[in-house]
Amino acid sequence: MLSDQEVNKKLYHKLEKLITEKRNPQSMGIDLASPLEIAEIINREDQKVAESVEQRLDVIAEVIELVSDAFQLGGRLLYFGAGTSGRLGILDAAECPPTFGSPPEQVQGFIAGGKEAMFVAQEGAEDDPENGIQAIDKAETAPPDVVCGLAASGRTPYVHGALNEAKKRGCKTVFVTTVPAEQIDIKVDYLIDVPVGPEVIMGSTRMKSATAQKMVLNMITTGAFVRQGKIYENVMVDLMLTNKKLVERAKRIITIFADVDYERAGQLLEASGGHVKTALLMALKNLNASDAKKLLSEHNGFVRKALLQIDSK
């Protein structure tokens, strides 16, 4: 068994090789830069992120379909990460219900150290793979759930523990990281490696690495929910009316697509029980709420498919 010093030294040398831990030659003078120069340096580096993500669109598309299929079978998308990566998973999960009208349990984020770690770093929580295993168990993870690990460095023990346990349980696994595939020593079903290069501030993966991960997660959940009929054209029509802003947005959506005024949009929304897609069909095809809901159900919630059926008659 290795001593603590030997274990620490092994980690030291592993970090030394990671691209996220390298010094960025483009920002070595940032400590003497003016505010404008600082902004310019960061902006130039950020522009490289989208190009790096573009190189992985094929596998991202596969994951979109994977998650959509899982949703169709009643499965969940579960994110596991530590630090910034964990917070990004929780953020993406939290935004899904108000945007897509999805149940809160359908997309969930888990962070090493628990809820407290969302706001205050819980030192050492990410270092034990057993914590990831326990998180998987607590979530009662099982197929058809999809487990997505998030780790900029690709090596976080908490995330590895979660992914390995998920695989044992027969779940499909996805890993989003910002180091190249050759630096990853865990086997997953789908690896989305987006090597964004050294950070502007060495090792500060809250910067380019976080931006890359956020872009990927946006694509996965947005893409999966588009495939679930949550969008009509390019408008979110399954939003939950949880505040006044969203109620007014719903009315605006109805007036955009249907030839009705503000007052009529409000009446349709009320008659539909606050369900925007139902109100849209009512407005566009002069249906009552019951018939509109039935038609949506027949087409798995796809507004466009429902409209096409009516138009084909």
* Known active-site residue 65: no
What is the β-pairing status of strands 235-236 and 231-232? antiparallel
User: Are 65 and 212 a contacting pair, CB within 8 Å?
Assistant: no
What backbone phi and psi angles, to 5 degrees, belong to 146? Answer: -110, 130
Among residues 21, 62, 95, 248, the one annotated as catalytic is: 95
**Structure-block tokens of residue 221:** 């959940």
Which segments of the chain does DSSP mark as H helices, in order?
4-17, 35-54, 57-72, 83-100, 129-138, 157-168, 208-226, 244-257, 262-271, 276-285, 289-298, 303-312
Among residues 45, 126, 165, 199, the one annotated as catalytic is: 126
CB atoms within 10 A of CB 247: 15
* Known active-site residue 130: no
Q: Give the gyration radius of the chain's Cα atoms.
A: 23
Q: Which residues are catalytic?
A: 95, 126
